[in-house]
Chains A and B, each alone.
Chain A
Amino acid sequence: MSRATEHRAGWIWASPFLVGAVVFLAVPVGLALYTGFTDYALIESPLWIGLDNYREMGDDPVFWQSIRNTAVYTAAAVALNFLVSLGLALLLEQRLRGREVVRAVVFAPVLVPIVASAIGWMWLYHQEFGLFNVVLRRLGLSGVDFLGDGRFALMSLVVMGAWVVGSQVLVLTAALRGVPRELIEAAGLDGASAIWRLRAVVLPAIGPALMFNLIVSIIWAAQVFAAPLVMTRGGPAGATQVFTMSIFQNAFQYGRMGYASALAWLQFLVILGLTAIALRLGRRFVQTEAV
């Protein structure tokens, strides 16, 4: 097969993905950039309004509320998921009986559709019959209105998010298996405690995997949508109104596709910025070359 034929065959085989990426990703993203500068409701032609959509964000209390909530959610979810996934991965690498079963159990929530798990968690959080409140009452404590009280609602969603860390645990487990055992043993012989071995040997060695998880976690958390939509619909009093929900509402419930596109582009730029910052920090602090 000549090089040109090989080249052509390569393009042909890649074309289903390329066509899909252009038609369903590049073109809509480009159109969204344009409609962000228009007033557009799908049922009429776009009206060019320049930067009005971006200016409007300043006066939109729901915009600021959703920014605040999403920032808090992202910070808390990323931190909690980081700790939970690392803890579970370390635990699962210990020589414990039944760890394969536990590994499957940890990964299983990833396979549950988000709407189904959201409904399940609503029942767990239910003020009257929810498992958490039943336990709290058994312990003699007063129940908590997890989803109905503005002080707890957003954090309840964060905790629910930490249930779905199976993919991150998988990545860390794979990375942990690549940590040279002789290094850990050498540190042990030098008198390093378990905590010190973790800090000085294991964490630097799995740095790239931690970095990967951190970035994916930021992207995932900043786009959180289905769980608050199903569980709280943004309430109580906007305490769980998140950014993606505002985009969805403006686009499909208020018929304001132009404003929604502007919001979506802002979200894209913010996530891009956060990812760039994380990568830059990663380059500085994470050892990417193998030991």
Chain B
Amino acid sequence: MCAALPAPAAGEEPRPTLDASPEPTAPGASVSRRVALGLLGAAGAAALLTPGRRRTVPAGRVHLRYWEKWTGAEGEAVQRIVDRFNASQDRSWVERVPVAEIFSKAMVAIGGGDPPDVVGLFSWNVPYFAEARALMPFDDFPGGAELASGYYAPAIERLLQHEGRLWCGANTCYSLVLYANRARLAQVGLDAPPATIEELDAVSERLVERGADGRITRAGFLQNIPLWWPYVWPSLFGAELMEPGHGERPPRMSLASEGCRRAYQWVSDTAERHGRAASRSFGLSWERTMLSAADPFLSGGVAMTVQGPWMANFARQFTPNLDYVAAPVPVPAADLDPARPRGLLECDTIGIPRGCPHPEEAWEFVRFTQTRESQEELARAHCKPSPLATTSPDFLVGHPNPFVAVHEAVAKSPAVSVLPETRAWKATSDLMVQAFDAIWMGADVGTELERVQTRAQGLLEAARERYRARRERV
């Protein structure tokens, strides 16, 4: 049943009717099929002929697609390596394609059977791609075995290998160290950054400045600025996040170990001293400013921060007059050993996807990027240490990062930590982010870490079990 609509009142819009009688077609309003097809054809031709759609590949050369995550100055540095390779031979031509979210996009491309020839990944991606055989191991290529042992720094070698095979090359690496603002240190009579946790706490306490309303306006050191590596703190206490497997003993997550508990208790104590909510808000207020002119360290918001070597690049760009210094991350006084600095090491990698169109040419390019000359050029441009076991005599001389030696020392230290080599890592790291947040706001350290440990161990075991099942099926 349909009720008749009342007539609109004066001044109201006419109401829509339910009368569906078609409107008469205006003469000449219809488009003939020929005209429609012609228009479509013209649009297609225009799209194809628009200049600048494709990068010109010199005739006779094999076109290699190289997906890399870097953009800006870091991307330009990689492009210089690519250009040098393209100029060094006449068989292949590498086109660098900047790709965001490279982990998921590489998975989709490889799984879909249309991978690039070369892909730049993160070191934590290696177990995923290696266990799925989604990358081609380097020892399958001529000369690849030379890279497998002793060519990279020991910790880097660990990151690039999986089950004894080399799946990727290094494409720069970074170690995390403590950057400190010298002027702010001078305020409390210091001329060098603190070397121990105890000194750091004491100095940091004296550098806190608060507004009239009690809010923090400047801080000394807070573990939540930046909140990029909430899993780094156990490394300061010499604790590993995962016990590697040995022989029959499988690897095991150790996120609730004594060392981890000490580390996160230290985090909790810092938050407590500064006021949990106030220090959290202070940290969040910098969230969108990292590595810009308003970065908390570069703008003086915090006096000290744990950061990677790129900080030197951004300091030069945004605050060239900033007087700063870098040192290994502080450790408990009882553990201090200047010859064995602690810290976390991560690495960017370069690999050849399974099913890529031109594996041999891709290998030639990858081999070129792994030469000491290329890696040192890239490391210098990124302000980073070298991932290789040995550096050329003049690598440190004239390096744009005035504290690259500190990064080098940590990267090559026998006490340096790396992330757990497991497919369960990314999910675990997200659990660590939540646990860090909860601990900062006062949750019990032991309970939080046990919660993460239980879930992460479950993920690790499931990943291992399924990997074994797949291998048995193969």
| Interface residues of A, Cβ cutoff 8 Å to B | 39, 41-44, 47, 49, 52, 56, 59-62, 95, 122, 126-128, 142, 145, 147-150, 174, 177-178, 180-182, 234-238, 241, 249-250, 252-256, 289-291
Q: Are the CB atoms of B455 and A127 closer together than 8 Å?
A: no
User: CA separation between A39 and B462, bound complex, in Å?
Assistant: 10
A-B contact pairs, 27 of them (CB 8 A): A41-B423, A43-B132, A44-B111, A47-B469, A47-B470, A59-B458, A61-B431, A62-B434, A95-B11, A126-B285, A127-B284, A145-B281, A181-B6, A182-B6, A235-B434, A236-B437, A236-B441, A237-B437, A237-B438, A237-B441, A252-B104, A255-B103, A255-B107, A255-B423, A289-B1, A290-B3, A291-B3
Task: Enumerate chain B residues within 8 angstroms of A43, measured Cβ to Cβ.
Answer: 107, 110-111, 128-129, 132, 134
**Chain B interface extent, by class:** 35 or more
Contact flag A253-B111 (CB < 8 Å), given A127-B281, A178-B5? no
Q: Are the CB atoms of A128 and B107 closer together than 8 Å?
A: no
- B104-140 interface with A by 8 A CB criterion: 104, 107-108, 110-112, 128-129, 132-134
Does B249 sit at the interface, judged by CB under 8 A?
Answer: no
Does B83 sit at the interface, judged by CB under 8 A?
Answer: no
Q: Are the CB atoms of A238 and B434 closer together than 8 Å?
A: yes
Task: Enumerate chain A residues within 8 angstroms of B3, measured Cβ to Cβ.
Answer: 180, 290-291
Q: From the candidates A41, A52, A95, name the one contacting B132 in the complex (CB within 8 A).
A: A41
Task: Enumerate chain B residues within 8 angstroms of A252, measured Cβ to Cβ.
Answer: 101, 103-104, 107
Contact flag A44-B455 (CB < 8 Å), given A56-B462, A148-B280? no
Does B426 sit at the interface, judged by CB under 8 A?
Answer: yes
User: CA separation between A181 and B443, bound complex, in Å?
Assistant: 59
Q: Are the CB atoms of A235 and B437 closer together than 8 Å?
A: yes
Q: From the candidates B2, B101, B466, name the one contacting A47 in the complex (CB within 8 A).
A: B466
User: CA separation between A53 and B466, bound complex, in Å?
Assistant: 12
Which residue of the partner chain A has the closest CB to B439?
A237
| Interface residues of B, Cβ cutoff 8 Å to A | 1-3, 5-6, 9, 11, 15-16, 101, 103-104, 107-108, 110-112, 128-129, 132-134, 213, 277, 280-281, 284-285, 288, 423, 426-427, 430-431, 433-435, 437-438, 441, 443, 451, 455, 458, 462, 466, 469-470, 473
User: CA separation between A122 and B134, bound complex, in Å?
Assistant: 39
Task: Enumerate chain A residues within 8 angstroms of B462, measured Cβ to Cβ.
Answer: 52, 56
Q: From the candidates A177, A253, A289, A291, name the one contacting B426 in the complex (CB within 8 A).
A: A253
Task: Enumerate chain B residues within 8 angstroms of A95, measured Cβ to Cβ.
Answer: 11
Q: Are the CB atoms of A59 and B455 closer together than 8 Å?
A: yes
Main secondary structure of the interface of B (DSSP, over half): helix
Q: Are the CB atoms of A290 and B2 closer together than 8 Å?
A: yes
Which 7 residue pairs spanning A and B have beta carbons closest together? Answer: A42-B111, A237-B437, A43-B134, A252-B104, A44-B132, A237-B438, A290-B3
The smallest beta-carbon distance between A131 and chain B, in angstroms, is: 15
User: CA separation between A177 and B281, bound complex, in Å?
Assistant: 48
Task: Enumerate chain B residues within 8 angstroms of A178, measured Cβ to Cβ.
Answer: 5, 15
Task: Enumerate chain A residues within 8 angstroms of B1, measured Cβ to Cβ.
Answer: 289-290
Q: From the candidates B6, B16, B434, name the one contacting A180 in the complex (CB within 8 A).
A: B6
The smallest beta-carbon distance between A136 and chain B, in angstroms, is: 12
Task: Enumerate chain B residues within 8 angstroms of A256, measured Cβ to Cβ.
Answer: 427
Task: Enumerate chain A residues within 8 angstroms of B434, measured Cβ to Cβ.
Answer: 62, 234-235, 237-238, 241
Q: Are the CB atoms of A149 and B277 closer together than 8 Å?
A: yes
User: CA separation between A259 and B269, bound complex, in Å?
Assistant: 37
Task: Enumerate chain A residues within 8 angstroms of B433, measured Cβ to Cβ.
Answer: 235
Which residue of the partner chain B has the closest CB to A49?
B466
Q: From the candidates A61, A148, A237, A289, name the one contacting B281 in the complex (CB within 8 A).
A: A148
